[in-house]
Structure 1
């Protein structure tokens, strides 16, 4: 097999990937879109080209030898967005894991490295492939070197050979530098000859072959204006030729043999993909995973007794209890078995025997009998479905493990025990399988597995409790998270009644509305077509209606939302298309989605995820209540389907006002921010006044909108690039905005700086209730990892403290409702809002009680503020 050298222009491909893909990030918040695009392309190159030698070249810095010729070379370029700059180290980490050489050279560009190595490769009879998005590299094309240029995005590529170049561009490879010299390049600030584009440059070169010949025969050129341009800018053109000429004799300190590529080690690249969250790419890498086989796991001897009856003498002292439910939705899933561990022994009880036992029920419902469980909420709901109202839960291993380190991905018993050096229990997947192949084993295997889990639960309690005490988190577990778990269990089991007829009516109305919009679009287009087909929509917009083309895809015109938004003012068809898409998503995702999760009792029973987010915030599943749309009026109307479960009852909703900004003011102790909240000012107006230096009556809606974006963005480490994207302003304007914000609120800047420094010293940040988040990357040499950790350090105390506050408010409110003997009860927690249902006669009490409880649940240096509303539906309570 002949040798093949693949040379990749790292900077060019990364830039292309960054701007071609949405601003993605992994579960740690690390930006990954450019790396993902690069990795995707890399795997394709390895598969298609099968290189024997490979190298990725990067620019070493801003200054190169070309600046000696022209100091304004690349002078017009904007600073690389931090979201992209952070990804360069990640790409190099990926290349190292892939055993692919990467190289950069001071004072030279990636093009020069590629050009030098390409010529060395040619001299050694190598086939050379150059991959880039930069047309300058086309000057390297030869019979032995093919240059593959990305067009739009990364997947659309043209492979340039001398023949292809002649057909496509009508010039030869060695004329590329002459063409670029004539037409210039605004992206690199290369002047060229003003007014000469590619078409004119090619025409001149077809007639005169070279730049030098053009000027030698300038009198033969037709067209007075063209001749004048050339005469006036001869010096610029010749300098431009110098600038665009790749130095193929660069003093590189890397030899051809150093670029040898023999393949990657699967485990290394797999690990990087897993860290970055590239699940879809994992299936594209091959090889052995080197994971331990099941039979290599060493299991200590734990004896599990299978009971066919439960004696009263069994329960003596604290007991660990496992209620095994395999499926995620424990509201409907069966209980597979019961595990019990006492001080002396471990037992397995078949489900039917446990549930039929009056001894078990009496023990479970006795609040004086202390139980240690895993996932108190699941246990509570699971047993309540079987008419057992469990009480006396004293410890929850799931919540304890989560509080110790919320960054861990798995908090099941086998994972927790494995992290702590215990290997007495297999992982669930090893016992049950997973997905469609999941099944319950025979009773002996089931009893052994559940028994082992229960035994580990019993054994770990003291060890984990000691760690919580050292972290000052015992109160967080026992006074906040565990009581809340039991409340959430009640809320989940209680469910929320859904007016299915209302949803069906909305579905029908939306269908009529969508049909009407579709007809209006067809009328504006002058023909019928499928609105959901970009292939049909593109030609209508950009050919028939002649709207400006924003971007193209490999299959035609892009009709993505961001493209349509840029065209809103250009034609009345665009707003209708955008509305059609919004309503279509509302129909399929939310209305039809809700209809699918209504239970037989006419209610939805969402599951609150209490041990999932790293900030302590609750999330929910089936349905995801955090995603019920509120921006579009039609979306808000979905809340009309959420109704009380009894006649003459009312929905009551209470919402914290700007709780995160109030927490920020308290933590940062910024005098101006604190005073604004004490004065009950609109904080976004106040910020606009300070940043724009205007009075309150001079603040217009646009100023307030920008101030709001900064208030909610800046404390989370938003960059000038991110803010510019949010507000549709330039990065320069966004940076000035951020600078003025910090001038106005110096306490916020001090807080952010101090928090990052403290995190670097301790390795973690905490909330007002000692919730921790560890930041192992806060001192990383990897810029991307470190930057994310710094943003997290600033953000977590704010979000996490807000989560602490609303959780405590829920507990306080539950107690207050019980103490006053009210029938009112909590149904949902969504973001910073609590939703209750209550008899109409209790509403006057709730109007006083709920805001008071929520506002007084903690004492801050600024007042907490709660807004409330009530009505016959959740929609009316807004």
Structure 2
């Protein structure tokens, strides 16, 4: 699942920026409006770019803060706010209310402290945070999930900083930015710092010593008598300055994300009147039109939703007796981030004439066995149809209780995803707003039961769309059955050998130290390899390698730059390897230790509604993204083992599935014949492209033909192919032209699908999965080129995704049908992983191979390679 986003606006800073960026404007009342206009324009742009789920705005109060108590001169000497700006703030707060944006301000704390508190709170909830401000003080809050958007040139241009950008650009971490400010001071806030220390010296000292405290401890080693003297004389002032510069992240404020999120639908009519009053005519076009598809939402009040609370066994019996043929169901869950602790809190059930909130945990405490049996009789009854939103969660948690949810006929989340896969998230409240034009307020149980009630109307709307888009087979035969399979897989988990993980961890440390030593030898000195600044000096000053790209603070040493330099010096490949190793170690050695559950397994979450191509993704952890280019990456797979000594790991991998799909879709005779005759497709392509007999194809020719084969699938051009193969653009063009000469229908398919996309703005897969490609109509040449590549590749990659999903459903179904103990536990792109009992091995091998190879009838055979091992590594 993609992360939710919180947008935090620094009200004072942004208004100040807008005020000085734009000429003074007034409306007919004489009210100055330039800051308001700039702020509102910026806000609409940020909403469009970031697409936040939550928006809040913070303000300073006039009351003194704790910093004034620490240092009476704090912010002394600041110019008084111009009256022309001051008068715009009350109007801004009116605007924010109409825009349904929460305002946070509190005596004793600055807006920065509120921003810090909100950001850290949201980050802890797994939410991605964007802080928009003109104040660079906020850079100290940057992290992997907190982005600081610094406005420049007024508020029209911006720079976005996260932790990596801070390290790359300044050579320090975000937290160390506080130390820099403590040393250099800040004239705008009247923070004294240390006399004689400017920005350059402050950065240099913190880059070397890491903190003010370490600088002061090593003051005797610092060059420059005056600098040393000042540091010793003003050491306490430096510590105080650091304290004054530190943003507090624990302000005592109440934060209710549900109430913030419920305000996404702003008062359109109120805003329209406000914009007329302020004479913001150009902003009127940004508001939804009343009679358009984005019409004002119909408000639904509490009184319109009647429901009964089921909090004892007698009420549960009555509810169960009233359930006859169809229910709409959703659940509220606890501790979802840890499988062993995850459980159902409450259940929301709506029938055709009744609505219930089932206080599930209360019932379990009263009489667990009877409560479960009463629910089980209806939840496992196929004749009682179930319609829900995100049914995977229901399957997963009911499975834990021994209840097999049956009779599920529709999942509104999956349906909405299939209708438009580009949205990234499909929350029930948002879908109710979008498809039913209904706005429901409230939170907690009240909101959940209202949303469950709305499933009736939403089901009708979405099911009609599925028929209209001819996606019945995709939804009912692939995606919905897959939901049950994935829930089962998540519950099964993949066992990890913790002892082996520790051993591999030590192996990684040794390898990292060895590579580090080799890098130092090649560089002729020791340095911080992880510091872009220090690395840049080694590569471009000491080793005199050509500068590829520069940043504001020095040389760029990103992956793209290193790739261009790879053949210039042996140190480059070593650095790339070092980066890969350290990333692997932190993500998959230390990272895996944090997600091993009580049962010794990792229960990864499989996401159906994230990718635009239809491929599955996995999170917490992402087991689909373990890099295997290097042996050390493959080593990670050694820690994944069978459930017990009676089992083995089985891996079944489709052979060249995307090329086979291409042959089928393009209906190219030469390509089809190659697969039917079981030819080595890359050798055959090499023979065709290089015009040599099959037995004269060299390994280099085959390697280049392989690049062409897979490049064609992804719509590669001559420039990219030349870069990949390190050949001239002309040679690359000749390869591609020759390829299309030999496989003419592939060329025809590519041309036809691009034309179709240009006409319809979408393309489809074999099973009619649809992906919208708006990029293809762009007037920007680069964006349009991307759209063309997506149009060429999506039907191929999407069809491959459909095939592996259907295979998963069929394998799982067949294993259950035969009553086997062996289980499907993981899917990685074109590969299925199973935990197989040894006494069932031959039977399971036959099932997996048959179901994967016979899943769909194509013009070419599908082939699955099956391997067995004592670990995932051995089975690959």
Structure 1 position 306 matched with structure 2 position 314: no
**Partner Cα distance (2:296, 2:338) in 1:** 30
- The answer for the alignment partner of 1:339 in structure 2 is 348
Q: Is the 8 A contact 1:497 1:644 kept in 2?
A: yes
Partners of 1:696 and 1:50 lie apart in 2 by: 68
Deviations 1:354-383 (A, max 9, x none): 544242233223333322111121111122
Q: Distance in 1 between matches of 2:789 and 2:523?
A: 47
User: What aligned pairs does 1:641-720 form with structure 2 within 5 A after superposition?
Assistant: 641-720=639-718
1:597 and 1:267 map into 2 onto residues whose CA distance is 49
Q: Give the alignment partner of residue 386 of structure 2, picking from 357, 361, 371.
A: 371
Residue 840 of structure 2 is matched in structure 1 by 842
After the TM superposition, which residues 405-420 of structure 1 pair with which residues of structure 2 at under 5 Å, given as runs?
A: 405-420=420-435
Which of 377, 381, 384 in structure 1 is aligned with 2:396? 381
Residue 736 (structure 2) aligns with: 738
Matched, 1:348 2:348: no
Per-residue CA distance 1:372-409 (angstroms, 9 max, x = gap) = 11112111112233443322222211112222222334
Offset, 1:502 = 1.2
CA shift for structure 1 position 785: 5.5
Q: TM-score, normalised by structure 2?
A: 0.63
Is the counterpart of residue 772 in structure 1 residue 777 in structure 2? no
Q: Which moved more, 1:646-655 or 1:390-399?
A: 390-399
Kindly indicate whether the alpha-carbon contact (under 8 Å) linking 2:299 and 2:438 is maintained by their aligned counterparts in 1: no
Q: Give 5+ residue unaligned stretches, structure 1.
A: 1-25, 28-42, 54-92, 99-152, 157-261, 272-290, 432-444
The answer on whether the counterparts of 2:336 and 2:343 sit within 8 Å (CA) in structure 1 is no
Deviation string 1:12-70 (CA, Å, 9 cap, x unpaired) is xxxxxxxxxxxxxx99xxxxxxxxxxxxxxx9xx98994879xxxxxxxxxxxxxxxxx
Q: Distance in 2 between matches of 1:600 and 1:327?
A: 14
Aligned to 2:330: 322
Q: Name the SS for the 2:707 alignment partner.
A: helix
Native 8 Å contact 1:319 1:458 kept in 2: no
Distance in 2 separating the partners of 1:297 and 1:457: 14
The change in CA–CA distance for 1:497 and 1:734 in structure 2 (over 3 A counts) is same
Question: Is this contact kept in 2: 1:817–1:824, CA < 8 A?
Answer: yes
Partners in 2 of 1:267 and 1:693 — Cα distance? Answer: 64
SS in 2 for 1:805: helix
Residues 251-330 of structure 1 mapped to structure 2, 5 A cutoff: 301-308=304-311, 309-310=315-316, 311=318, 312-325=320-333, 329=337
- Trace 1:104-123 onto structure 2 (pairs within 5 A): none
Taking the aligned partners of 1:549 and 1:755, their CA distance within structure 2 comes to 41
What residue is the counterpart of 1:874 in the other structure? Answer: 872
Shift of 1:567: 4.6
Q: CA deviation at 1:510?
A: 1.1
Assess if the C-alpha contact under 8 Å between 2:436 and 2:458 holds in 1.
no
Write out aligned runs for 1:768-807 (5 A).
Answer: 768-775=766-773, 778-779=776-777, 786-807=784-805
**Which residue matches 2:415?**
400
- Cα offset, 1:558, TM superposition: 4.0
For residues 844-859 of structure 1, the aligned pairs below 5 Å read: 844-859=842-857
Could you report, residue by residue, the CA deviation over 1:78-108 in whole angstroms, capped at 9, with x for unpaired residues? Answer: xxxxxxxxxxxxxxx99x989xxxxxxxxxx
Alignment of 1:117-266 (within 5 A): none
Aligned pairs for 1:50-65 (under 5 A) are 50=21
1:722 and 2:720 correspond: yes
The verdict on how the C-alpha distance between 1:267 and 1:612 changes in structure 2, with shifts beyond 3 A counting, is: farther
Instruction: Decide whether aligned partners of structure 1 residues 819 and 382 sit closer, same or farther in structure 2, where only a CA change above 3 A counts.
Output: closer
C-alpha distance 844-410 of structure 1, shift in aligned 2 (>3 A): closer
**2-structure distance, mates of 1:417, 1:491:** 30
1:834 partner SS: strand
SS in 2 for 1:616: coil
Distance 1:696 1:795, change over 3 A: same
Residues 696 and 735 of structure 1, relative CA distance in 2, 3 Å threshold: same
Q: 1:570 to 1:455 in 2, by over 3 A?
A: closer
Residues 526 and 877 (structure 1 numbering): CA distance in 2 closer, same or farther, change over 3 Å? Answer: same
- Asked if the contact 1:348–1:451 (Cα under 8 Å) also holds between the matched residues in 2, the reply is yes
Among candidates 437, 442, 445, match of residue 422 of structure 1: 437
SS in 1 for 2:321: helix
Moved more, 490-499 or 294-303: 294-303
Give the distance between the partners of 1:536 and 1:524, measured in 2 at CA: 15
The answer as to 2:747 corresponding to 1:749 is yes
Equivalent-residue separation in structure 1 for 2:335 and 2:709 (angstroms): 41
State the 1:523 CA deviation. 3.8
Give the distance between the partners of 2:287 and 2:730, measured in 1 at CA: 39
- State the SS of the aligned residue for 2:352: coil
Distance 1:568 1:726, change over 3 A: closer
**Do the aligned residues in 2 keep the contact of 1:678 with 1:863 (CA within 8 Å)?**
yes
When residues 610 and 551 of structure 1 are mapped into structure 2, their CA distance, relative to the original with a 3 A threshold, is closer
Provide the alpha-carbon RMSD of the alignment: 3.7
Cα separation, partners in 2 of 1:845 and 1:512, compared to 1, 3 Å: same
Please list, as runs of the form range in 1=range in 2, the aligned pairs for 1:810-821 lying within 5 A after superposition: 810-821=808-819
Contact kept? 1:424, 1:452, Cα under 8 Å: no
Distance in 1, matches of 2:830 and 2:722, equals 27
What number of residue pairs does the alignment pair up? 602
Q: 1:765 to 1:699 in 2, by over 3 A?
A: same
**Quick check: 2:298–2:438 contact (8 Å CA) kept in 1?**
no
Larger radius of gyration: 1
Inter-CA distance 773–726: structure 2 relative to 1 (3 Å threshold): same
C-alpha deviation, 1:299, in angstroms: 7.3
Distance 1:556 1:777 in 2: 34
Question: What does residue range 474-493 of structure 1 map to in structure 2 within 5 Å?
Answer: 474-493=472-491
CA deviation after TM superposition for structure 1 residue 544, in Å: 4.2
What is the CA distance between 1:583 and its match in structure 2? Answer: 1.4
1:235-270 per-residue CA deviation (whole Å, 9 max, x = no partner) reads xxxxxxxxxxxxxxxxxxxxxxxxxxx999889999
Deviation at 1:661, TM superposition (A): 0.6
Partner of 1:390: 405
1:377, 1:485 within 8 Å by CA — same for their partners in 2?
yes
- Go from structure 1 to structure 2 and tell me whether the alpha carbon gap of 1:300 and 1:468 turns closer, same or farther (over 3 Å shift): farther
SS in 1 for 2:438: coil
Look up the match of 1:249. Answer: none
TM superposition shift of 1:762: 4.6
- Give 1:577-588 correspondences, 5 Å limit: 577-588=575-586
User: The residue matched to 1:752 in structure 2 has which SS?
Assistant: helix
SS of 1:826's partner is strand
Which residue of 1 is the match for residue 535 of structure 2?
537
Paired with 1:662 and 1:403, the residues of 2 have a C-alpha distance of 24
Change (3 A) 1:726 1:268: farther
Tell me, what secondary structure is at the counterpart of 2:304?
A: coil
Using the TM superposition, name which of 476-485 and 759-768 deviates more: 759-768
Residues 499, 641 of structure 1: 8 Å contact kept: yes
Distance in 1 (alpha carbons) for counterparts of 2:547 and 2:783: 37
> Does the Cα contact within 8 Å between 1:364 and 1:388 map onto a contact in 2?
yes
TM-score normalised by length of structure 1: 0.63
